[in-house]
Protein backbone atom coordinates (compact mmCIF):
# COMPACT_ATOMS: atom_id res chain seq x y z
CA UNK A 1 0.00 0.00 0.00
CA UNK A 2 1.07 3.60 -0.51
CA UNK A 3 0.18 6.65 1.53
CA UNK A 4 0.39 9.94 -0.29
CA UNK A 5 0.42 13.28 1.44
CA UNK A 6 -0.50 16.57 -0.14
CA UNK A 7 1.67 19.38 1.15
CA UNK A 8 1.16 22.87 2.27
CA UNK A 9 4.46 24.71 2.71
CA UNK A 10 5.22 27.00 5.65
CA UNK A 11 8.22 29.13 6.50
CA UNK A 12 9.23 29.91 10.03
CA UNK A 13 12.36 31.66 11.19
CA UNK A 14 13.31 32.70 14.68
CA UNK A 15 15.85 35.41 14.97
CA UNK A 16 15.80 40.31 17.24
CA UNK A 17 15.69 42.62 14.37
CA UNK A 18 13.54 42.77 11.32
CA UNK A 19 16.29 42.02 8.89
CA UNK A 20 16.77 38.26 9.27
CA UNK A 21 14.90 36.93 6.28
CA UNK A 22 14.51 33.85 4.16
CA UNK A 23 12.01 32.09 1.94
CA UNK A 24 10.89 28.49 1.70
CA UNK A 25 11.77 27.66 -1.89
CA UNK A 26 10.88 23.99 -2.24
CA UNK A 27 8.05 23.42 -1.88
CA UNK A 28 7.12 27.06 -2.44
CA UNK A 29 5.64 29.06 0.43
CA UNK A 30 2.30 30.74 -0.09
CA UNK A 31 3.85 34.22 0.27
CA UNK A 32 6.42 33.49 -2.43
CA UNK A 33 3.80 31.94 -4.69
CA UNK A 34 1.57 35.00 -4.29
CA UNK A 35 4.49 37.32 -5.10
CA UNK A 36 5.78 35.43 -8.14
CA UNK A 37 2.88 33.41 -9.54
CA UNK A 38 5.12 30.34 -9.54
CA UNK A 39 3.18 27.17 -8.75
CA UNK A 40 6.06 24.79 -8.01
CA UNK A 41 9.15 26.25 -6.34
CA UNK A 42 11.07 29.47 -5.77
CA UNK A 43 14.54 28.32 -6.81
CA UNK A 44 14.89 31.04 -9.47
CA UNK A 45 14.50 33.93 -7.02
CA UNK A 46 16.97 32.75 -4.34
CA UNK A 47 18.59 35.73 -2.65
CA UNK A 48 15.78 38.15 -3.40
CA UNK A 49 12.52 39.10 -1.69
CA UNK A 50 9.87 39.77 -4.34
CA UNK A 51 6.65 41.29 -3.05
CA UNK A 52 8.02 41.29 0.52
CA UNK A 53 7.74 37.49 0.54
CA UNK A 54 10.58 37.21 3.09
CA UNK A 55 8.88 39.60 5.55
CA UNK A 56 6.96 37.03 7.61
CA UNK A 57 8.34 36.33 11.08
CA UNK A 58 8.01 36.97 14.82
CA UNK A 59 9.82 40.03 16.12
CA UNK A 60 11.73 39.89 19.45
CA UNK A 61 11.61 36.11 19.77
CA UNK A 62 13.72 35.24 22.82
CA UNK A 63 14.00 32.27 25.14
CA UNK A 64 11.65 32.12 28.14
CA UNK A 65 12.96 33.41 31.45
CA UNK A 66 15.00 30.74 33.22
CA UNK A 67 15.63 28.69 30.06
CA UNK A 68 19.28 27.64 30.01
CA UNK A 69 21.39 27.38 26.88
CA UNK A 70 21.32 23.87 25.41
CA UNK A 71 23.43 24.34 22.26
CA UNK A 72 26.92 24.54 23.75
CA UNK A 73 28.91 22.53 21.21
CA UNK A 74 31.03 25.12 19.32
CA UNK A 75 30.55 23.11 16.11
CA UNK A 76 26.81 23.81 16.26
CA UNK A 77 27.11 27.53 16.98
CA UNK A 78 27.30 30.16 14.23
CA UNK A 79 28.49 33.36 15.93
CA UNK A 80 32.05 32.39 16.87
CA UNK A 81 31.28 31.99 20.58
CA UNK A 82 29.87 29.18 22.75
CA UNK A 83 28.97 28.34 26.34
CA UNK A 84 32.70 28.11 27.10
CA UNK A 85 33.36 31.72 25.99
CA UNK A 86 34.28 33.78 29.04
CA UNK A 87 35.77 37.19 29.88
CA UNK A 88 38.31 38.70 29.39
CA UNK A 89 37.76 37.34 25.88
CA UNK A 90 34.47 37.33 23.94
CA UNK A 91 31.56 36.14 26.05
CA UNK A 92 28.57 34.11 24.89
CA UNK A 93 26.62 37.24 23.95
CA UNK A 94 23.88 35.59 21.80
CA UNK A 95 22.76 33.54 24.81
CA UNK A 96 22.66 36.31 27.42
CA UNK A 97 20.11 35.45 30.13
CA UNK A 98 16.89 37.40 29.59
CA UNK A 99 17.52 38.12 25.91
CA UNK A 100 18.88 34.85 24.56
CA UNK A 101 18.47 34.21 20.83
CA UNK A 102 16.28 31.25 19.72
CA UNK A 103 19.17 29.01 18.60
CA UNK A 104 20.51 28.93 22.17
CA UNK A 105 17.76 26.37 22.86
CA UNK A 106 16.11 25.39 19.55
CA UNK A 107 12.32 25.31 19.53
CA UNK A 108 11.89 27.04 22.91
CA UNK A 109 11.36 30.65 21.74
CA UNK A 110 7.74 31.78 21.46
CA UNK A 111 6.47 32.70 18.00
CA UNK A 112 3.41 34.84 17.32
CA UNK A 113 2.12 32.53 14.59
CA UNK A 114 3.45 29.21 13.24
CA UNK A 115 3.16 30.70 9.75
CA UNK A 116 4.51 34.17 10.46
CA UNK A 117 2.98 37.63 10.67
CA UNK A 118 3.88 40.40 8.28
CA UNK A 119 6.76 42.64 9.48
CA UNK A 120 7.07 40.69 12.71
CA UNK A 121 4.02 41.98 14.53
CA UNK A 122 5.95 43.64 17.36
CA UNK A 123 3.50 45.63 19.57
CA UNK A 124 0.86 45.50 16.82
CA UNK A 125 -1.46 43.13 15.02
CA UNK A 126 -0.38 42.53 11.44
CA UNK A 127 -1.55 40.03 8.85
CA UNK A 128 -1.02 36.32 9.51
CA UNK A 129 0.30 34.31 6.58
CA UNK A 130 -2.51 31.83 7.16
CA UNK A 131 -4.80 34.51 5.70
CA UNK A 132 -3.03 34.47 2.32
CA UNK A 133 -4.64 32.76 -0.69
CA UNK A 134 -4.29 29.04 -1.26
CA UNK A 135 -1.27 27.66 -3.04
CA UNK A 136 -0.28 24.58 -5.04
CA UNK A 137 -0.41 20.99 -3.85
CA UNK A 138 2.71 18.85 -3.57
CA UNK A 139 2.54 15.08 -3.14
CA UNK A 140 4.74 13.02 -0.82
CA UNK A 141 4.69 9.25 -0.27
CA UNK A 142 4.81 7.58 3.11
CA UNK A 143 8.15 5.99 3.92
CA UNK A 144 9.91 7.86 1.12
CA UNK A 145 12.18 10.87 1.32
CA UNK A 146 11.24 14.34 0.08
CA UNK A 147 13.36 17.32 -0.95
CA UNK A 148 12.99 20.60 0.94
CA UNK A 149 14.92 23.83 0.56
CA UNK A 150 15.16 27.46 1.60
CA UNK A 151 17.07 30.59 0.55
CA UNK A 152 18.37 33.49 2.65
CA UNK A 153 18.23 37.20 1.96
CA UNK A 154 19.71 38.03 5.38
CA UNK A 155 21.78 35.42 7.20
CA UNK A 156 21.57 35.37 10.98
CA UNK A 157 23.05 31.94 11.62
CA UNK A 158 21.31 29.43 13.89
CA UNK A 159 19.51 26.35 12.58
CA UNK A 160 16.23 24.90 11.41
CA UNK A 161 13.69 22.08 11.35
CA UNK A 162 10.77 20.96 9.17
CA UNK A 163 7.39 19.91 10.62
CA UNK A 164 3.84 18.92 9.59
CA UNK A 165 0.34 19.65 10.86
CA UNK A 166 -2.91 18.10 9.55
CA UNK A 167 -4.77 20.76 7.60
CA UNK A 168 -8.05 20.08 9.39
CA UNK A 169 -6.42 20.70 12.79
CA UNK A 170 -5.82 24.01 14.51
CA UNK A 171 -2.65 25.19 12.75
CA UNK A 172 -0.85 26.04 15.96
CA UNK A 173 2.82 25.86 16.90
CA UNK A 174 1.92 22.99 19.26
CA UNK A 175 0.45 21.00 16.35
CA UNK A 176 3.60 21.41 14.27
CA UNK A 177 5.74 20.42 17.25
CA UNK A 178 3.86 17.12 17.44
CA UNK A 179 4.84 16.19 13.87
CA UNK A 180 8.54 16.98 13.38
CA UNK A 181 10.24 15.41 10.36
CA UNK A 182 13.55 13.52 10.66
CA UNK A 183 16.27 14.35 8.16
CA UNK A 184 17.49 11.63 5.81
CA UNK A 185 21.20 11.11 6.36
CA UNK A 186 24.03 13.62 6.45
CA UNK A 187 23.95 14.89 2.88
CA UNK A 188 23.07 18.50 2.17
CA UNK A 189 23.58 20.46 -1.03
CA UNK A 190 23.31 23.95 -2.50
CA UNK A 191 21.70 24.69 -5.86
CA UNK A 192 21.89 27.87 -7.91
CA UNK A 193 18.97 29.75 -9.48
CA UNK A 194 19.09 27.37 -12.48
CA UNK A 195 18.72 24.33 -10.24
CA UNK A 196 22.33 23.19 -10.69
CA UNK A 197 24.24 21.73 -7.74
CA UNK A 198 27.09 24.09 -6.81
CA UNK A 199 28.23 22.51 -3.52
CA UNK A 200 27.81 19.24 -1.62
CA UNK A 201 28.01 19.44 2.16
CA UNK A 202 27.95 17.22 5.23
CA UNK A 203 25.17 18.57 7.41
CA UNK A 204 25.63 19.24 11.13
CA UNK A 205 22.51 18.01 12.92
CA UNK A 206 21.56 17.52 16.56
CA UNK A 207 18.73 16.09 18.64
CA UNK A 208 20.29 17.09 21.98
CA UNK A 209 18.82 20.03 23.90
CA UNK A 210 16.10 20.61 21.28
CA UNK A 211 12.37 21.08 21.59
CA UNK A 212 10.33 18.97 21.17
CA UNK A 213 12.66 16.66 23.03
CA UNK A 214 14.54 14.42 20.62
CA UNK A 215 13.59 16.44 17.52
CA UNK A 216 16.43 16.81 15.01
CA UNK A 217 17.59 20.28 13.94
CA UNK A 218 20.23 21.25 11.37
CA UNK A 219 22.78 24.02 11.74
CA UNK A 220 22.68 26.74 9.09
CA UNK A 221 25.66 25.77 6.89
CA UNK A 222 26.53 29.31 5.73
CA UNK A 223 29.16 30.84 8.06
CA UNK A 224 28.10 34.04 9.77
CA UNK A 225 31.58 34.93 11.05
CA UNK A 226 34.98 34.84 9.31
CA UNK A 227 36.35 32.75 12.17
CA UNK A 228 34.53 29.77 10.62
CA UNK A 229 35.91 27.80 7.69
CA UNK A 230 34.14 28.82 4.46
CA UNK A 231 32.23 26.43 2.23
CA UNK A 232 35.11 25.12 0.09
CA UNK A 233 33.27 25.38 -3.22
CA UNK A 234 31.92 28.85 -2.36
CA UNK A 235 34.55 30.81 -0.37
CA UNK A 236 32.55 34.02 -0.90
CA UNK A 237 29.46 32.59 0.85
CA UNK A 238 30.02 34.04 4.31
CA UNK A 239 28.37 36.74 6.40
CA UNK A 240 25.04 38.42 5.98
CA UNK A 241 24.21 37.80 2.33
CA UNK A 242 21.95 37.83 0.37
CA UNK A 243 22.87 34.50 -1.23
CA UNK A 244 21.55 33.44 -4.62
CA UNK A 245 21.37 29.74 -3.84
CA UNK A 246 18.98 27.34 -2.10
CA UNK A 247 20.00 25.12 0.82
CA UNK A 248 18.62 21.65 0.17
CA UNK A 249 17.95 18.69 2.49
CA UNK A 250 15.94 15.51 2.39
CA UNK A 251 13.38 14.67 5.06
CA UNK A 252 11.76 11.31 5.79
CA UNK A 253 8.02 11.14 5.29
CA UNK A 254 6.67 9.16 8.29
CA UNK A 255 5.41 5.74 7.27
CA UNK A 256 2.77 5.66 10.01
CA UNK A 257 1.21 9.05 9.22
CA UNK A 258 -2.50 8.73 8.29
CA UNK A 259 -3.44 9.46 4.70
CA UNK A 260 -4.63 13.04 4.25
CA UNK A 261 -3.76 16.70 3.79
CA UNK A 262 -1.00 18.39 5.76
CA UNK A 263 0.69 21.75 6.12
CA UNK A 264 4.48 21.80 5.97
CA UNK A 265 6.40 24.22 8.21
CA UNK A 266 10.01 25.33 8.09
CA UNK A 267 11.19 26.87 11.37
CA UNK A 268 14.53 28.69 11.41
CA UNK A 269 15.81 29.70 14.87
CA UNK A 270 18.46 32.40 14.47
CA UNK A 271 21.49 32.97 16.68
CA UNK A 272 22.48 36.52 15.78
CA UNK A 273 19.07 38.10 16.39
CA UNK A 274 15.91 37.54 18.43
CA UNK A 275 13.33 37.35 15.69
CA UNK A 276 11.04 34.68 14.31
CA UNK A 277 10.37 34.58 10.59
CA UNK A 278 7.48 32.41 9.46
CA UNK A 279 5.82 31.60 6.14
CA UNK A 280 3.03 29.21 5.34
CA UNK A 281 1.08 27.77 2.42
CA UNK A 282 -2.65 27.55 2.51
CA UNK A 283 -4.80 24.72 3.80
CA UNK A 284 -5.63 23.62 0.28
CA UNK A 285 -1.98 22.77 -0.23
CA UNK A 286 -1.70 19.37 1.28
CA UNK A 287 0.14 16.13 1.42
CA UNK A 288 -1.85 13.15 0.29
CA UNK A 289 -0.62 10.10 1.93
CA UNK A 290 -0.93 6.48 0.80
CA UNK A 291 0.53 3.45 2.60
CA UNK A 292 3.96 2.34 1.49
CA UNK A 293 5.88 -0.84 2.23
CA UNK A 294 9.18 1.06 2.03
CA UNK A 295 10.99 1.25 5.34
CA UNK A 296 11.95 4.84 6.13
CA UNK A 297 15.61 5.61 6.71
CA UNK A 298 16.83 6.60 10.11
CA UNK A 299 17.15 10.33 10.70
CA UNK A 300 20.63 11.67 11.34
CA UNK A 301 21.58 12.72 14.85
Band of pLDDT at residue 135, cut at 50, 70 and 90: low
In terms of residue numbers, what domain contains 228? 3-290
Has residue 268 been placed in a domain? Answer: yes
> What does residue 176 show for φ and ψ, rounded to 5 degrees?
-65, -35
CA distance 269 to 73: 16
Has residue 272 been placed in a domain? Answer: yes
Has residue 300 been placed in a domain? Answer: no
Has residue 282 been placed in a domain? Answer: yes
Average pLDDT of the chain is 80
- Could you report the per-residue pLDDT of 243-291, keeping only the tens digit for each? 999 999 999 999 888 888 888 889 999 898 754 444 443 333 334 333 2
Q: Would you call 33 helix, strand, or coil by DSSP?
A: helix
CA distance 55 to 19: 8
Has residue 284 been placed in a domain? Answer: yes
CA distance 229 to 206: 20
In this structure, the number of other CB atoms found within 10 A of the CB of residue 72 comes to 16
Band of pLDDT at residue 4, cut at 50, 70 and 90: low
Domain count for the chain, please give it: 1
Band of pLDDT at residue 297, cut at 50, 70 and 90: very low
Amino acid sequence: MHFRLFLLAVLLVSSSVVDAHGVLSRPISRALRLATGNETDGIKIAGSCPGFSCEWYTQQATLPSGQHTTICDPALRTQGVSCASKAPGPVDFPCTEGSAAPWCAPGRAHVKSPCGVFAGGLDRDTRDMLDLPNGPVATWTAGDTAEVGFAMTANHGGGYIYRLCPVDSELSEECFQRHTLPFAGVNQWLIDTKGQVIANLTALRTDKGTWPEGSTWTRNPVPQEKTFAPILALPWAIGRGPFNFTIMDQVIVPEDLPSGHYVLSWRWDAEQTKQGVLLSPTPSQTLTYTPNTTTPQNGLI
